[in-house]
Amino acid sequence: AKALTFVAMASGQDLDANAEFVRLADRVVEVPSGSNKNNYANVELIIDVAEREAVDAVWPGWGHASEYPELPDGLAKRNITFIGPSGGPMRALGDKIAASILAQTARVSSIPWSGDGITCDPKVVIETGAIPPELFRKAMVTTEEECIAAAERIGYPVMLKASEGGGGKGIR
């Protein structure tokens, strides 16, 4: 008997293409084709397939639903292991300020910024999915005076970046 059974979800396109993951699977569950919202990015579908197939764990690959905190949260409610980060850190990583504080907490080298040196208790982030508000506020600049003080501390030239919004326009 095998120690592991590899169950894969596959769209019609992947089945037709005889994708490698399909060939390697012990069992394949066909899912709707088309846009990834119909299949690989569909959290409800992934959880449903995991339950119907009575799997012990789900590894969602890269991209698609692997980036949605609702997937590990939903699987955990059904006692199915998510092979990846829990929902809390995923939520925090979706915010530029929170992600930078998490990186600093993990001792990842960072460029100077308004919140450099600020760290947090990772257990709080895992449990709540957020950086404590007082640390978040401490990392932000919200006034012209705070901006000038941060720029003088960091050193010129500086670059200003919104922590949210902007529609993917980035720095101009």
Nearest-angstrom CA–CA distance, 62 and 76 = 19
pLDDT (tens digit per residue) in 6-40: 999 999 999 999 999 999 999 999 999 999 999 99
Q: Which residues of 147-172 are buried (b: 16+ CB within 10 A; e: fewer)?
A: eeebbeeeeeebeeeebeeeeeeeee
Region of poorest pLDDT, from 22-26, 74-78, 120-124, 152-156:
120-124
pLDDT, tens digit (0-9, with 9 covering 90-100), for 28-85: 999 999 999 999 999 999 999 999 999 999 999 888 898 899 999 999 999 999 999 8
How far is it, in rounded angstroms, from Cα 56 to Cα 122? 26
Number of Cβ within a 10 Å radius of residue 1: 3
